[in-house]
Amino acid sequence: MSTLPNLPPQPRDTPWPTVDWPKGDLPSNLDTSAFAAAMDHGFSGFGETHAVVMIVGGRLVYERYGPNHGPDITCMSWSKAKSITHALAGILVGDGLLDIEAPADVPEWQTSGDPRGTITTDQLLRMSSGLSFAEVYEPEKPSDTIAMLWGEGSEDVANYAASRPLAYTPDSYWSYSSGTTNIVSRILARRLDAYGEDFHVFMRERLFAPLGMTSPVPKFDKAGTFIGSSFCFTTARDFARFGLLYLRDGCWEGQHILPENWADYARIPTWQQDDVVDGPYGAHWWLGIGGPGSFSANGHEGQYTVVVPDLDMVFVRHGKTPTPQREDLKAWVTDTINLFRSSAP
């Protein structure tokens, strides 16, 4: 972990945003013309942009909202919820209730000789379980994602995902999968013996409330499993709070919400085969979209919470961007963050 860039502490003169976000100013040497042009392009060039929120030094320095959106309007998380699931797993690790290196607590894999029985929670969090899962969002194509969330698997998303066969030896192949996150989510519920509203209470008391996140609305299937792959509606400001938690190494107002080094675990690169095109990955967080050392919670249709340690920055974007524009939007996020890097002392 020594090769990872250090995560900055909260500035001593900056209050934590548990109640309200302290306000700040954009950097005085920021190229304001280039920044204004970038924001105008961001709100006009990628389908719908619902919100952009920027935090620097623990202070809210910029926010802008699209039509019918604002600071109090919840936004779709899509796969940003995976990073929330990572945080919940960290809380259980800190409580001594979860060993991510042990074989995962998955009932479907407990038959003697089942090769899936060796899969660890760590491998699930790093998308390296080897399970077969077609992560496809186009209805006209075979898709485990669509079947799990809206079709035959929707009443018990974890059972659907856990019933997939192995396609590769565990830890030998990286494959992004919403199914593995829902397996993790049920593992957490089993460790706590808490489902549905009881699990929601755990989420609220141990993660959301300490950060002042009052808006999250997580969704559960009929089996009581938090659909941690995809569904936690939250305001952009609250997603910024969540990003700040990771920027501050899991600490909030002097208390460890997440165990020591859990944020580092999220940003350690996971091995990927050479033909992966989606970009580097850590553990339920993506890596590098905000420049070297950055890590991010990304979601379908252009949802981003980007944590940028070298700029002490959290960058949040929500919207509804068509898939063909995905790479252009990612480039816009990178370029916009780089405007701050070019203005840094």
- CATH number, domain containing residue 300: 3.40.710.10
Q: Is residue 24 part of a domain?
A: no
Across the range 35-50, mean pLDDT stands at 98
Give strand ranges (E) for 7-90: 48-56, 59-65
Task: Return d(Cα 239, Cα 196) in angstroms, integer.
Answer: 22
For 35, the token pair is 């920044």
Considering its fold, how many domains does the chain have in total?
1
For the entire predicted model, the pTM comes to 0.97
Residue 138 has pLDDT above 90, yes or no: no
What is the model's pLDDT at position 101?
A: 98
Q: Is residue 139 part of a domain?
A: yes
Q: Is residue 123 part of a domain?
A: yes
Task: Return d(Cα 245, Cα 212) in angstroms, integer.
Answer: 11
Task: Return d(Cα 313, Cα 62) in angstroms, integer.
Answer: 11
For the chain, give the mean pLDDT: 96
Q: Is residue 228 part of a domain?
A: yes
Vertex 153 angle, CA 149 and 159, to 5°: 115
Percent of the chain with pLDDT over 90: 95
Q: Is residue 9 part of a domain?
A: no
Q: 177-227 pLDDT, tens per residue? A: 999 999 999 999 999 999 999 999 999 999 999 999 999 999 999 999 999
> Containing domain of residue 38, as a range?
32-343
What is the model's pLDDT at position 186?
A: 98
What is the model's pLDDT at position 342?
A: 83
Q: Is residue 4 part of a domain?
A: no
Cα-flanking dihedrals φ and ψ of residue 209, to 5°?
-65, -45
Across the range 326-330, mean pLDDT stands at 97
For 279, the token pair is 């970009």
| Beta carbons within 8 Å of 37's beta carbon, 6+ residues apart | none
DSSP track, 203-263: HIIIIIHHHT----EE-B-TTS-B-TTT-EEB-HHHHHHHHHHHHTTTEETTEESS-TTHH
Across the range 131-157, mean pLDDT stands at 95
Q: Is residue 3 part of a domain?
A: no
- CA-nearest of 107, 81, 110, 105 to 92 is 105
Q: Is residue 2 part of a domain?
A: no
